[in-house]
Amino acid sequence: MIASAELSIFEQSFAADVQAGLTKAGQKELPSKYLYDTVGSRLFDVITALPEYGLTRAEDRILRQHSAEIVARLHTPLTVAELGSGSGQKTRGLLEALCVRDPTSYYPIEISPAALAMCKREVADIQAISILGLERDYLDGLAEVAASRQGKPLLVLFLGSTIGNFDPPAAANFLQEVRGLLQPGDWLLLGTDLAKPAPVLLAAYDDPIGVTAAFNLNLLGRINRELDGHFDLSDFEHVARFDATACRVEMHLRSNRRQRVAIEKADMSVVFEEGETIWTESSHKYTPADILRMAQLSGFRCEAQWVDTEWPFAENLWIAE
């Protein structure tokens, strides 16, 4: 029997992505979306509480301080779709403000079933909300929501600077695809972390109690659990780097010695040299000019922007042209 016959559809694509990333010539890599299994989603929630990781609190402050103004600019009854809802905590206030005005359908789109379940629990008691969670990739989920919008304008939420995980050409391409699913006049509320000094960023992605290290290493743990991998996690180390030219923080996992690791369900074994890394995530940081350029490149007009000054972060309200 061929191995793939025993794998679920999810395992097949996870195995294919692992295989492609770890056999890449030059820099090995793994897609950051696989960081968010049940363990990874919970570790990410702990990261958001760390004093060094100011990003989530900055966005919370913006959404709390300006929710009345944001809602006032969205002047009609809406259907809301959220790309990557996570635990739903950051969205709750905004949904409450919308639902007080009009009954609102909320579609969280989330590939992590654990996060989706948490999100539904978090917003379930809001008056006049109707919730339909979609366990899909972002664009598949958004296409479904767009098809069932019932004549109302769409508000797409893409918060937390998740856009920063795409490199700039992929980000522009992704936003163009989002735009392609929308109609003129639909909205996108986009969270973007802004450039700040390298030491601040490095501390945010390499915290002193090791939560981010655990979050990163869990990716190898997940490969062990779900693909019968044989990684010894004590042979790898979390590394955070700042690339000033690209203005991004990178997370890597560095092999402490030369070693060969088998991954049974990906039908492979891979050699790591001593000091070689697997690149697991990029988090791009933006200038206000970068954000305007992204809007123009992808067919949106920037309607408003709110910036947190304590931890530079911008919430952008874009309108589809």
Q: What is the rounded distance in angstroms from the CA atom of residue 262 to the CA atom of residue 67?
A: 50
State the nearest-atom distance from the C-beta of 144 to ligand AVJ, in Å: 23
Sheet architecture: strand order including 313-320: 129-131, 104-109, 79-83, 154-158, 187-193, 313-320, 300-308
State the nearest-atom distance from the C-beta of 46 to ligand AVJ, in Å: 10
Nearer to ligand AVJ among residue 34 and residue 104 (C-beta) = 34
| Segment near ligand AVJ (CB under 6 A); pick from 70-78, 110-118, 160-168, 173-181 | 160-168
| Residue 91 contacts ligand AVJ per CB under 6 A | no
State the nearest-atom distance from the C-beta of 207 to ligand AVJ, in Å: 9
| Residue 40 contacts ligand AVJ per CB under 6 A | no
3-state DSSP call for residue 174? helix
Spell out where 63-153 has E strands.
Answer: 79-83, 104-109, 129-131
| Residue 281 contacts ligand AVJ per CB under 6 A | yes
Binding residue for ligand AVJ, selected from 41, 105, 192, 283, defined by CB under 6 A: 283
Which residues fall within 8 angstroms of residue 77, CB to CB, at 6 or more apart?
Answer: 101, 102, 103, 104, 152
Binding residue for ligand AVJ, selected from 41, 91, 105, 161, defined by CB under 6 A: 161
- For residues 160 and 128, the answer to whether their CB atoms sit within 8 Å is no
Nearer to ligand AVJ among residue 58 and residue 295 (C-beta) = 58
State the nearest-atom distance from the C-beta of 9 to ligand AVJ, in Å: 25
Nearer to ligand AVJ among residue 58 and residue 74 (C-beta) = 58
| Residue 255 contacts ligand AVJ per CB under 6 A | no
Which residues fall within 8 angstroms of residue 168, CB to CB, at 6 or more apart?
Answer: 284, 290, 294
Q: Tell me the torsion sign for CA atoms 25, 26, 28, 31.
A: negative
Q: What is the rounded distance in angstroms from the CA atom of residue 141 to the CA atom of residue 82?
A: 9
Residue nearest to ligand AVJ (CB): 283
Q: What is the rounded distance in angstroms from the CA atom of residue 168 to the CA atom of residue 223?
A: 28
Spell out where the chain has E strands.
Answer: 28-29, 79-83, 104-109, 129-131, 154-158, 187-193, 236-243, 248-255, 259-263, 268-272, 277-284, 300-308, 313-320
Phi-psi region of 86 (alpha: psi -120 to 50; beta: other; left: phi over 0): left
Nearer to ligand AVJ among residue 87 and residue 283 (C-beta) = 283
| Segment near ligand AVJ (CB under 6 A); pick from 6-14, 20-28, 159-167, 295-303 | 159-167
Count the residues of the shown chain that bind ligand AVJ, applying the rule CB under 6 A.
11
Site map 191..230 versus ligand AVJ, x via CB under 6 A: --------------x------x------------------
Nearer to ligand AVJ among residue 21 and residue 164 (C-beta) = 164
Footprint of ligand AVJ on 44-63 (CB under 6 A): 47, 55
| Residue 41 contacts ligand AVJ per CB under 6 A | no
State the nearest-atom distance from the C-beta of 255 to ligand AVJ, in Å: 20
3-state DSSP call for residue 73? helix
Q: What is the rounded distance in angstroms from the CA atom of residue 273 to the CA atom of residue 250?
A: 20
| Segment near ligand AVJ (CB under 6 A); pick from 67-75, 138-146, 162-170, 269-277 | 162-170
Footprint of ligand AVJ on 104-123 (CB under 6 A): none
Largest CA distance in the chain: 61
Which residues are at the interface with ligand AVJ (CB under 6 A)? Answer: 47, 55, 160-162, 164-165, 205, 212, 281, 283
